[in-house]
Amino acid sequence: MTIDNRQSTIENPIDLIIIGAGPTGLACGIEAKKAGLSYLIIEQGGITDAIRRFPVNMTFFSTPELLELGDIPFTTPNVRPTRVEVLQYYRGISDYFELNLKLFTKVSEIKNQDKRFNLVTDSREEFTADKIIVATGYFDYTNRLGVKGEDLPHVSHFYTEPYAYSQTDVAVIGGRNSAVETALELYRHGARVTLIHRGSELGAVKYWILPDIENRIKDGGITVYFDSVVEEIATGSLVVRDKKDNKRTTLPIDFVFPLIGYRPNEPLLRSGGIALDSKTVIPEYNKTTFETNVRGLYIAGSVACGCETWNIFIENGRAHAKPIIEHILTDRENMAEVRSETDVSEETICP
């Protein structure tokens, strides 16, 4: 079903709006289309925009078949696909299914209004639907250090490629995949890398990368500070504190990458009335239907894991689409039955 994406209004609501055109959002769109629902996918950037902003040379952990959507094979000669291959595959998926998309449109607020939802964008456009699926992931919102100097221009919470940092001193903060892969790539392109991690050892790291980072630390190619936290960042330096003895060390640093994890778009979720865990930011939702504490408002994909971003990936997040659409269809059937029974009872009332 093709709709004019400018006509989802209060007067002309559609069945479903999906916020986010990542792999899970696309999966929800495919299932909605198969079910005959009128739907629209609204995305703040381009198709799979978060993946587009991943490190340029990234190789995925998942094998191709675990990234497939709509029973369309993902073919590649590689055991694990590259970022470019993944981007090309999902663009092809969108074209193949002719998905209804409104791109470069950021939803800033979800309003629950009289059994329907009204979405407001940054440009003050409004869209109305009976049901909403939030599939926004978490890549746009990073965890922060909360220290002085974190917003200086030489500090970035996102890493793309190494070439600008050759022959410079770079601090990478974190101990999981993003930090480790960044540290290794910077090292191999001529940067002098210092890895700073609050834990006593590295966290969850891809098994084929772990020996590499361990050997680079062992041979001194990458300097590491375990059990340490950054206390302040300045132009040309940062202060790191050892958690065990509280010793502070000032390091000469040209660039800083705090890569300490991500979190969902809390303001957007809260605007729709979704309850969030105060510690993990995990939304309250039914684990079978993915409906939140707000009836008709669903979450799908990695947004469901809050700050525990190591629990949901593309390969298991894409599976949320079918049960959500099935529940929406069941709910519609139940509502139709209720309306039919109400109409019959009204007709039998004596004048």
Helix (H) or strand (E) holding 327: helix 321-347
Task: Give the total number of structural domains in the chain.
Answer: 2
Same domain membership, residue 291 and residue 243: no
Unique residue bearing structure tokens 């865990």: 277
Q: Say if 8 falls within a structural domain.
A: no
Q: Say if 147 falls within a structural domain.
A: no
Query: How do residues 13-43 score in pLDDT, each as one tens digit?
Result: 899 999 999 999 999 999 999 999 999 999 9
Domain boundary among 258, 289, 311: 258
Q: Say if 53 falls within a structural domain.
A: yes
Same domain membership, residue 270 and residue 222: no
Q: Say if 2 falls within a structural domain.
A: no
Same domain membership, residue 186 and residue 115: no
Query: What is the spatial distance between Cα 233 and Cα 257, in angstroms, rounded to a whole number?
Result: 11
pLDDT of residue 1: 44
264 token code pair: 């969902």
First to last CA, the chain: 43
pLDDT of residue 2: 47
Helix (H) or strand (E) holding 215: helix 210-218
Q: Say if 291 falls within a structural domain.
A: yes
Same domain membership, residue 173 and residue 70: no
Q: Say if 7 falls within a structural domain.
A: no
pLDDT of residue 61: 86
Same domain membership, residue 125 and residue 194: no
CATH number, domain with residue 190: 3.50.50.60
Query: How do residues 199-235 score in pLDDT, each as one tens digit?
Result: 999 988 888 899 999 999 999 999 999 999 999 999 9
Same domain membership, residue 268 and residue 169: no
Same domain membership, residue 330 and residue 250: no
Q: Using N-to-C axis directions, what is the helix angle for 23-34 and 83-97, rounded to 10°?
A: 20
Which residues does the chain have with pLDDT short of 70? 1-11, 336-351
Full DSSP string of 277-305 = -TTT-PBPB-TTT-BBSSTTEEE-GGGGG
Domain that holds residue 45: 14-141+262-346
Domain boundary among 224, 258, 292: 258
Same domain membership, residue 230 and residue 93: no
Q: Say if 3 falls within a structural domain.
A: no
274 token code pair: 């979704």
Same domain membership, residue 269 and residue 181: no
Same domain membership, residue 204 and residue 102: no
Same domain membership, residue 174 and residue 220: yes
Same domain membership, residue 19 and residue 122: yes
Domain boundary among 241, 258, 275: 258
